[in-house]
Structure 1
Amino acid sequence: MNMTHYMGLLADNQPWNLIIFMAIPVICAETLAISEFAILFTRNLDGTLRKVNKVVGIFAGLYFTGIFIYLMKTAYIPLTVNGEWKGWIDVVAVTFYLLGIVPFLGMALLDLGIIFRKKTVEEKLKIHAIFVSIFLVVAHVAMIFGMVDPTLGSGASSGHDMMNM
């Protein structure tokens, strides 16, 4: 079966690539989402859960920045320059994965007090929740398109003919 570069990355060097590029970012996102809900519902803005949320937000932003830089240098730019994309589905999968930098880095910068300094605690909480939501959307789009046979969008044959099986 043909795979997108996204799935190829996760399938290579098992289990390390899966852990580095999928498990750690997703565990961070899930931790952020769950703690975000608890903070929003309890309004406990100074408790342990908020501290965990803040540490995970900063870690995720810095960690994903490293992933972003690494994949831009070793995959995205070379694939583009060399014309090695497997079609638009492949581009969507990888691009949406890399777009995770926007919300993750945004959360880190917010939690470090670098952006939105003059916002109230409630406004910062809202922005943080928006960043978490954006990450979940882009990550799921990347996963969905990443699992699709990239030849479906290119007009090429995938080698699978369900009618003749």
Structure 2
Amino acid sequence: MNMTHYMALLAENQPWNLILFMAIPVILAETVAITELFILFSRQFHGKMRQINRFASITGGIYFSGVFVYLMINAVIPITQAGEWRGIADVIAVGFYLSGIVPLGGLALLDLGVIGKGWDEERKLKLHAIFVAVFLVVAHIAMIFGMLDPTLLMAPEMSSAMPAMHH
């Protein structure tokens, strides 16, 4: 079966790539999302849930920054230089996965006080929730396109030229 580079990365070196590139970032982001709902509904801007939320936001942003740099150097640049993209689904999957750096980095910068320093809690919470929502959207787009057979979105003459990957 043909795979996007996104799926190939997660399938290789089991279970480590799945843990490092999917489980850790998603668990941290989901922790932020769940605690964010509690904070949004309770309006408790301090306390245990906010501490967990802040820890997961900062840790997720810093961790994903490392993932982003690692994958740019070790995957995106070499794949691009070698012309080895497997069609538009492949580019969308990898591109949207890596675009997670914007909301995750934003969460970390917001909770570290780098952005929104003089803002009230309500305004920070609004931007925080927007970053969480954006991350969930880009992560799901990456997953959907990442799971596609990349030849499905290729012109017929291109998909027949692509070698099949068998596992």
TM bin (shorter chain) = over 0.9
SS in 1 for 2:3: coil
Distance 2:105 2:50 in 1: 18
TM-score with structure 2 setting the length = 0.93
Which position in structure 2 is the counterpart of 1:163? none
Number of the residue aligned with 1:106: 106
RMSD: 1.4
Closer/same/farther in 2, CA of residues 159 and 67 from structure 1, 3 Å limit: closer
Q: d(CA) in 2 for partners of 1:30 and 1:62?
A: 16
Q: What secondary structure, in the 3-state scheme, does the structure 2 residue paired with 1:135 have?
A: helix
Shift of 1:151: 0.8
> Is residue 81 of structure 1 aligned with residue 68 of structure 2?
no
In structure 2, the gaps of 5 or more residues are none
Alpha-carbon distance in structure 1 between the residues aligned to 2:75 and 2:104: 20
SS in 1 for 2:148: coil
Q: CA deviation at 1:159?
A: 9.2
Q: Distance in 2 between matches of 1:29 and 1:133?
A: 10
Q: How many positions carry a matched residue from both structures?
A: 160
TM-score (norm 1): 0.94
Distance 2:140 2:53 in 1: 21
Matched ranges for 1:51-90 at <5 A:
51-90=51-90
In 2, distance between residues paired with 1:41 and 1:17? 35
Shift of residue 118, structure 1, vs aligned partner: 2.1
Distance 1:125 1:21 in 2: 27
Runs (4+) of structure 1 exceeding 6 A deviation are none
- CA distance, structure 2, for counterparts of residue 121 and residue 145 of structure 1: 36
Q: Which digits, 9 at most, give the CA deviation of each residue in 1:114-141, with x for residues without a partner? A: 0111221100001001000000000000
SS where residue 85 of structure 1 aligns? coil
SS in 2 for 1:113: coil
How far apart in 1 are the matches of 2:163 and 2:144? 21
Residue 22 of structure 1 deviates from its aligned partner by 0.4
Within 2, Cα distance between the matches of 1:41 and 1:159? 51
Counterpart-to-counterpart distance in 1, 2:28 and 2:132: 10
Match of 2:30 in 1: 30
- Work out the CA distance in 2 between the residues paired with 1:26 and 1:61: 11
Unaligned residue ranges in structure 1 (runs of 5+): 161-165
> 1:72-116 deviations in whole A, cap 9, x for unaligned?
000011111111100111000000000000000000000000011
